[in-house]
Amino acid sequence: MADDAAPNEPLPNGADTQPAIGLITQYVKDLSFENPNSPAVYQWQEQPDIDVQFNISSEQPGDDVYEVALKIEVKAKASQGTAFAADLVFAGLFGMRNIPEDQVQPFLFAEAPRLLFPFARRVLADAVRDGGFPPLLLDPIDFNGLYLQQVQARAAEQQGEQTADNA
């Protein structure tokens, strides 16, 4: 019966086969700020070295619903010790319906983190500022480029394993 419908016309019984993605909500899942050397840290003259690490994870808590979590770990260290450490897990729930299978992973690990990042960046900057330090403004990140690098690295790794198996 659905085959009789022309493209882009409503289907009988309200069936919807058009691809759709929507952000349901975004939220702070976990936030930690440590200032282990206060109040002495505020007297230090040396600028700390800042190390920033990212991790992206995804899970599917329900049908057509995916949680994408962007974890950001920041450590600021000087010769006198740790100035501060901040850990943030900022997540979003995305509804995805009728998305081709080959497009799900690129969305979850490239596009969704790109959408979440500006909000995570603000939460982290506010936490660092509220800890008594200048706000930490992270540079924009090319999540699509990082995703493509990981895909290529996995492909090269699999190619290497196949070559080793054939030897």
Residue spans per domain, the chain: 18-151
pLDDT digits (tens, 9 = 90+) for 117-160: 999 999 999 999 999 999 999 999 999 999 999 889 888 888 87
Q: State the CATH class of domain 18-151.
A: alpha beta
Mean per-residue pLDDT over the chain, rounded:
89
What is the pTM (predicted TM-score) of this model? 0.81
- Reply yes or no on whether the pLDDT at 104 is more than 50: yes
Main-chain dihedrals φ then ψ at residue 69, nearest 5 degrees: -115, 125
CA 132, 133, 135, 137: dihedral to nearest 10 degrees?
-150
- Residue 1: pLDDT band with limits 50, 70, 90: very low
- Reply yes or no on whether the pLDDT at 16 is more than 80: no
Q: Which amino acid is at 93?
A: L
Peptide bond into 39 cis (omega under 30): yes
Residue-wise DSSP of 72-85: EEEEEEETTEEEEE
Which spans in the chain are helix H? 101-106, 112-130, 143-166
